[in-house]
A and B are shown apart, each in its own frame.
Chain A
Amino acid sequence: MEIPIIYQLYLSIIIFTIGLIGVFLNRKNLIVLLMSIELILLSANINFVSFSNYYKNIIGQIFVFFNLSISAAEAAVGLAIIVIFFRKKGSIHVDDINTLKG
């Protein structure tokens, strides 16, 4: 029995919103912010796979494959930036990152 696509879309919407609110509300440290971005990417992946199953077309799954590699690269570079920031300042609290005075 197939799961209706509308439920999967709602699930992905909820995960996307949780990730977005996590980016805004997170005042603890930068790593949780990167995790929120991973949640947003995951919701996009759920959308791709459910549409790929709905239209019986494999190309959605191929784009999920690319999406995974891009998110892995992003996590690696982001964590490297966090590590050197911690070395410089001794803290990765979001409110301490104000060097650029933005």
Chain B
Amino acid sequence: MTIFLFFIISIIIITSSLLVILSKNPIHSVLFLILVFFNTSILFLFSNAEFLAMILLIVYIGAVAVLFLFVVMMLDINITKLRQTFLNYLPTGLFIGFIILIELIYVVSQSNLNFVKTNSSDINISNQILENTKIIGNILYTDYFLLFQLSGIILLVAMIGAIYLTLRKSKGTKKQNIYKQILK
């Protein structure tokens, strides 16, 4: 039953991710991207990653995809026809994609995934007493605390960069003039 559901969800994911890159209207692309994220979060639920499934719903669909949607609607792009240059890049793109697909499938099919099943961390998933979120919190706030704070700093830098890039330097905007402020 689970494997049947997995196949259905995989087919939905593959079809809608093809439609993301092929549809002419960018708004349709964003909506299909949302469908891909939603189905991937269901896939994460199958893999016992409940916290990440919910985070994927909140962060990707709630923040990133809606941000894409806002930008697409704000920019007022006229849906132009595909220009002639589309065909120039078609053979190269398909060639590179095909080679990488063949190589990756070869690598995965030749690998024997029966390595030693490690129990590197004391608290692992098989411990059924704790929930998924608690396990992640226990490790994230102890062993990976530095990386956690580093990702926070990266988000801060991205926020400041985005604000600075999109700031209009026209007459209407209010700015702080430090010299004037000090001289008063």
Contacts and interface: CB of A to CB of B under 8 A. Distances in A.
Interface of A: 1-11, 13-29, 31-32, 34-36, 38-39, 42, 45-46, 49-50, 52-59, 61-62, 64-66, 68-77, 79-84, 86, 92-93, 95
A76 B124 contact: no
Contacts of B126: 56
Contacts of B43: 8, 11, 46, 49
20 contacts: A3-B2, A3-B46, A5-B113, A11-B10, A13-B108, A18-B18, A21-B94, A23-B93, A24-B96, A31-B26, A31-B29, A31-B30, A39-B36, A42-B37, A56-B119, A59-B139, A61-B51, A77-B165, A81-B165, A92-B75
Interface band, chain B: 35 or more
A92 B117 contact: no
A68 B161 CA distance: 18
A8 to B, nearest CB: 8
Given A3-B2, A18-B17, A36-B21, A61 B162 contact: no
Given A11-B14, A32-B29, A66-B151, A72 B49 contact: no
Contact of B158 (A23, A50, A73): A73
B8 interface: no
The 6 closest A-B pairs by CB, nearest first: A24-B93, A22-B21, A73-B158, A21-B97, A80-B162, A53-B47
> Interface SS of chain B: helix, strand, loop or mixed?
helix
Contact of B49 (A18, A27, A34, A49): A49
B117 to A, nearest CB: 6
